[in-house]
Chain A
């Protein structure tokens, strides 16, 4: 389990997160949603130790502040919202960096498998910097996947922290990536994903946390959290939560925006 307790983050003189407590269970996909600038990435960065924060984060029961980078790397991988690569590495080399020793022997297979998984089969010899934006993002996801390939090792769940994994992907690849996230969770791993697409969130998330202005507005099952009241308040616009016919898939539409 991942627990974040009373997370406060100061950026400059400004408090960006005002004491957020958040949990995520292995075996499920936990989505973090909220408007731009609400603090989703900041929360993720605090939980992955990228920025200084007050509060505690535990992963599988252990305080992450006391863990070494390589211990953490063995149980969790992180996909940042944006990544830039210095130097002209190949896609295969970039993905191979997820393997801690780098590309070697039999593990090269894993790189190929992961690339195929994200729809980039055969891309390994290409230059990473020559890929399109969406392809780069999927290559980064492949790098994240090879790092913690097996979702659960000897009963210890491993974790994926994904900041907007489907931003800039076409609809088919959005589904590919969310399917990967879901199957990772179904095999016992934990997935935490910052999301903007509420419909995709409703479709794939087992738990949803709504962040607004540095506060946690609500966390729980999609049915309980994705409601007119919560969403309209979080995003500051009228949103209508609808239910499709069985199996009652939730979908969200703007309300009266064009009236």
Chain B
């Protein structure tokens, strides 16, 4: 039970550091974002463009397209998705009182995937009139609906007389996740070659499909969810003492849980919908921050948003440069980087798993 992960970090110094970390992480995010804007398959140079913008010179057609229609929406989407995944992870872990909980675990990810896969495989069966109107939004919309449906179902299964049992919810999440995976399996079995390629690319996760249209659709959900999440900090701290004690110290636990669940559903659903299966951000980022700056959710949630965004942008940069001019699906990068870090965390602090 004991977590002797960081005996060197004295808690009070830690809390201080957590507050300073807001600034540092914000700075890191800005730097990483600027780097991300300068890197890409085309040789448009950001400093040059910035200079032109400042001096009022007109941009060439290529420059404006690359910067404003490709790199900027991609950056914005990376920030949104990274922050959404990391904060959803932190909220979920606080809610389940378990540092290994993750939206993926309670089936939100599986539900979203099922939605997306349904859209990819059965989308062509839609009447042309409808398909034309929804167009590129079909996969995101379906993924989002899948996430919502799985959360709603999960909630119905695990809530009785207004009380949500976290244990039931975890187990139900695993069961529902397995069901969604099985249904996805059937669809994959039915898919043709082109659909299979689309599926693979989507399920590995990618930011390459970023566009202002997708962003306009997902950003409000994600940003709204994140803003609400930052108000959950004190309540999640209270939950660390157990549901009963959280109620005794004055939190409306049921409402807290409802809001946390809906927040996570919105943020994760939207993130998975636009970017596919990007793993490990939700579990690694809060872990690292807890080790470095302590478990206080009031600071952890904000820091997780900033660090999650930065890390995802970094992963995206790597994904774009290692096999340039082609690019890797970003989910592969986060897994290659995230999984070893995750294992290292587990080895370093076995205590966190034994609770």
User: Which A residues are closer than 8 A to B by beta carbons?
Assistant: 45, 48-50, 52, 68-70, 72-74, 76-78, 80, 83-90, 92-94, 97-98, 100-103, 124-127, 129-130, 143, 147
B332 within 8 Å of A (CB atoms): no
Known interface pairs A74-B250, A129-B1; 10 further A-B residue pairs with C-beta atoms within 8 A, sorted by A's residue number: A80-B245, A83-B241, A88-B3, A90-B12, A93-B15, A94-B241, A125-B11, A125-B12, A127-B4, A127-B11
Contact call B242/A97, Cβ cutoff below 8 A: no
B2 within 8 Å of A (CB atoms): yes
- List of B residues within 8 angstroms of A69 by Cβ: 247-248, 250-253
Which residues of B, 191-242, contact A by the 8 Å Cβ criterion? 234, 237-242
Q: Which of A101, A127, A129 contacts B234 (CB 8 A)?
A: A101
User: Which B residues are closer than 8 A to A by beta carbons?
Assistant: 1-7, 10-12, 14-15, 97-99, 161, 234, 237-242, 244-245, 247-253, 290, 294-296, 298, 351, 355
Q: Which of B5, B237, B245 contacts A88 (CB 8 A)?
A: B5
- The secondary-structure label for the interface of chain B is loop
Contact call A80/B244, Cβ cutoff below 8 A: yes
Bound Cα distance from A36 to B238, whole angstroms: 29
- List of B residues within 8 angstroms of A68 by Cβ: 252
A93 touching B11 in the complex, CB below 8 Å, given contacts A129-B1, A130-B4? yes
Bound Cα distance from A48 to B253, whole angstroms: 14
Among residues of A, the one whose C-beta sits closest to the C-beta of B300 is A87
Contact call B2/A84, Cβ cutoff below 8 A: no
- List of B residues within 8 angstroms of A98 by Cβ: 249
Bound Cα distance from A124 to B12, whole angstroms: 9
Contact call A89/B245, Cβ cutoff below 8 A: no
Q: Which 4 A-B pairs have the closest CB atoms?
A: A90-B11, A73-B250, A86-B97, A87-B295
Among residues of B, the one whose C-beta sits closest to the C-beta of A51 is B244
- List of A residues within 8 angstroms of B249 by Cβ: 73, 77, 97-98, 100, 147
Contact call B290/A88, Cβ cutoff below 8 A: yes
The smallest C-beta distance from A72 to any residue of chain B, in angstroms, reads 8
- List of B residues within 8 angstroms of A49 by Cβ: 247
Among residues of B, the one whose C-beta sits closest to the C-beta of A45 is B244
Bound Cα distance from A72 to B247, whole angstroms: 9
Among residues of B, the one whose C-beta sits closest to the C-beta of A48 is B248
Among residues of B, the one whose C-beta sits closest to the C-beta of A74 is B250
- List of A residues within 8 angstroms of B294 by Cβ: 88-90, 93
- List of B residues within 8 angstroms of A70 by Cβ: 250-252
Among residues of A, the one whose C-beta sits closest to the C-beta of B6 is A88
The smallest C-beta distance from A13 to any residue of chain B, in angstroms, reads 15
- List of B residues within 8 angstroms of A103 by Cβ: 15
